[in-house]
Structure 1
Amino acid sequence: MKLLTAVKFIILAHASCHAPSVLCTKGGMGGNNNSTASTEDSNKDERNLASSLSTDYKYTRNYLTIIEPENFITVFPNGAPNIGSGTTSLVGSSTIQKGGVYDPADIDLVNKLNGVESEDLTPEVIDFFMDEDLALEAVGGFKFAGDRQPKQPVPPGDSAFFYHGECVATSAINSPSPFQDKQRQLGPGGFDLDALDAFLASFTVTSHTCNLNICLGGGGFNCIAFYSGTSFVFDVGEQISRSNPICGGDVVCGRKLDYNDDVPESFNGEIKLPPPFPSTIIGGTGSFEGIEGTVDIATICGTTGPILSVEPSGTPTRRLEPGMMFNQNRLGLIVQTISIKSNMPLPVAP
């Protein structure tokens, strides 16, 4: 009988810890705790949880960040993609970015429907093509993502207002490389440029994770950290442009052209804006300690994308593969909107 009584006691105690609306806590079998107090605590916890999950945050504000192309860097886990060998993947590639933060009212955006013009050329691009006229012939008319750019000059802003972070591609797709045969020259007369364009355009990121940070004053110590880990379908390969290496008459960017060489045509990819994506605030520093909320990020202006130069065989240059090289000097600025909803007041950017 004693054994049966003990078993019944254990069963009743176990059942009480799984009864609806009754919170079983450590030490709940003794002391002054009772089921009424536990029920009230449980309801309070549920109300607090529902409140913390609410997206109806009281404070909202929009910011703009402007990112220079040299401050928007993509790093691959095994170096640059090897198009010739077919070992190409965007998975694990990391994009590191930083830029100043501005009030949207202080930044004017102008239409750039004609694409790159002489005033858009940078010293780095001119140096790459060895001459301003040659550079304009090679990339003139290339489209900017969004067909807009910030009006120059961009205001200096405030050094305590900035944005930075990293996004990593967690899944991606691309077509098999048509250039796995290393004997095939990647240049005029050596392969099909249409096949190259189609292969490059196939690179698509399908998801990413981002750890980002925006600082809003306080000497750069009042910062908000946010995280995103979502679907992100972006046709990265379509952003790649292919320049025309023929830079004036019978000269190929400083090298005399052989009359037997074909002349490849320049190609500006489908320069589109990446999709917007949501983020969740995960913490803050300085005056933002204890902040909660959400962040929406959208790119509204972009660059021409990386420029791939395809050159006749025999041209002395730094290449990914024979006859091909990337020019990392993209033209244009990247502009993103950062929309924050939070439980704390947010300052106006200077």
Structure 2
Amino acid sequence: MKLHLYLFLLLADLSVGLATSADADEAIDSDVERMMKRRKKKRNKMLLDPAEDVILFTRSYLTIAGSQVTDVDNGSAGDPTSGSVTEDNPLGSLSFALGRAPDTAFSSNEERFFSVRGSSFLQSGPIYNPDDVQFIDCVKQPRKDSCENFLSNSPANDSDNGVLRYGGGKQPNVVKLRPPKDNFFFNGECTTVAGFNPSQILAHSCFYNLCLGGLGEDCVNIFAGGGFIFDPFAPVQKNEEPLLPPSFPGAIIGGTGKYQGIKGSAQIVTITSRTSRNLPVNFDGFSSNLSPQTGYITQLVQLETTQQLPPSKTQESSESD
């Protein structure tokens, strides 16, 4: 009898203990679940709140670089660098650099098919408010202001000849454009990272400085990279104009001066380009028997930024005197 009573009490204690343990586990699970819910809610709040508070400002600028070639001296036939080019209305600078010295390819395959890799296009020019720039249709008015060049009056090179056509068919009228602000400018470099043959680009990597005031140190830094299918030396047939390069996106990765920490995105759109020029090209100077490129490259830089940027205003004529 006593044995049965003892067993009964033991079983009762076990059942109470198991129930208590189950209740404790349930309580622990409930606490952990509540804790995870609170952590998840806090994490979501941290991710969402900054995005809700960010205000993006939009601004667009035009940058122009190039010149009008008014005269060409071919020099001596045996010395292609002895020639000279006379230019008018220069704005900024444009240059092309090979990625490697001649005869330094890793293999004959690279020398033959991939010599464009590593080549760079460098540019620097003033920036303008898009509202301050007017464009001329050079197909209809080939001898008007910025459209006129050293071949305009040559009977052998009329306006139907491809060498006279500008990319986009237009040019900015820099002849009647008021001077830009000296501390507002745009410069950078694009390097070919993938491509074929001497000039066919498949992808590039670019870094730009968009400087907006101060002593020239208040700049926005833009990085752009990725696919970019374009051949700057593609042959141009009669009645055709050079193709414009495709637009491409970029990311604002910070800045200098008052624009430190700025973020956002950018889009680079080419509106006009110079006349065509075929390979081979002497990149160290003027090449004999080749017409130099004339005209202006105009690019629209569209921005969305976390800081408001100032508009670019051209000077009054009296300010530049």
- 1:164 corresponds in structure 2 to 187
Determine if the alignment matches structure 1 residue 343 to structure 2 residue 310. Answer: no
Contact 1:307 1:328 (8 Å CA) reproduced: no
User: Of 66, 69, 82, which aligns to 1:68?
Assistant: 66
Mark the CA change 1:292 to 1:43 in structure 2 (over 3 Å): closer, same or farther.
same
Contact 1:145 1:272 (8 Å CA) reproduced: yes
Deviation at 1:45, TM superposition (A): 3.8
- TM (norm. structure 2) is 0.64
- 1:206 corresponds in structure 2 to 202
Determine if the alignment matches structure 1 residue 109 to structure 2 residue 72. Answer: no
The size of the alignment, in residue pairs, is: 243
- 2:121 corresponds in structure 1 to 95
CA distance in 2, matches of 1:163, 1:338: 10
* Deviations 1:183-237, CA, capped at 9 Å, x for gaps: xxxxxxxxxxxxxxxxx8xx42111111111011122122100111111111323
State the structure with more CA Rg: 2
Mark the CA change 1:219 to 1:327 in structure 2 (over 3 Å): closer, same or farther.
farther
CA distance in 1, matches of 2:136, 2:117: 35
Deviation at 1:155, TM superposition (A): 2.4
CA distance in 2, matches of 1:329, 1:214: 28
Contact 1:116 1:144 (8 Å CA) reproduced: no
The aligned amino acid for 1:173 is F
Deviation at 1:106, TM superposition (A): 0.7
Determine if the alignment matches structure 1 residue 220 to structure 2 residue 249. Answer: no
Percent identity (aligned): 28
* Deviations 1:270-300, CA, capped at 9 Å, x for gaps: 5011000000000012221221111111000
- TM (norm. structure 1) is 0.59
Structure 2: unaligned runs, 5 residues or longer: 1-31, 68-91, 106-110, 314-321
- 2:294 corresponds in structure 1 to 331
Deviation at 1:21, TM superposition (A): 10
User: Of 274, 277, 281, which aligns to 2:248?
Assistant: 277
User: Is the partner of 1:219 in helix, strand or coil?
Assistant: coil
User: Is the partner of 1:155 in helix, strand or coil?
Assistant: coil
Contact 2:207 2:221 (8 Å CA) reproduced: yes
Mark the CA change 1:137 to 1:337 in structure 2 (over 3 Å): closer, same or farther.
same
CA distance in 2, matches of 1:299, 1:218: 27
Deviation at 1:43, TM superposition (A): 2.6
Contact 1:116 1:140 (8 Å CA) reproduced: no
Mark the CA change 1:137 to 1:344 in structure 2 (over 3 Å): closer, same or farther.
same
Mark the CA change 1:280 to 1:111 in structure 2 (over 3 Å): closer, same or farther.
same
Contact 2:166 2:241 (8 Å CA) reproduced: no
Deviation at 1:139, TM superposition (A): 5.2
Deviation at 1:140, TM superposition (A): 4.9
Of 148-157 and 207-216, deviating more is 148-157
- 2:258 corresponds in structure 1 to 287
Deviation at 1:90, TM superposition (A): 1.4
Determine if the alignment matches structure 1 residue 43 to structure 2 residue 44. Answer: yes
Deviation at 1:77, TM superposition (A): 1.6
Contact 2:165 2:276 (8 Å CA) reproduced: no
Two-structure CA RMSD over aligned residues (Å): 3.8
- 1:4 corresponds in structure 2 to none
Contact 1:21 1:43 (8 Å CA) reproduced: no
Map 1:1-350 to 2 at 5 A: 38-47=39-48, 51=51, 57-68=55-66, 71-79=93-101, 86=112, 89-113=115-139, 117=143, 136=154, 140-141=158-159, 142-151=164-173, 152-174=175-197, 203-238=199-234, 240=235, 270-306=241-277, 325=288, 327=290, 329-350=292-313
CA distance in 1, matches of 2:195, 2:288: 23
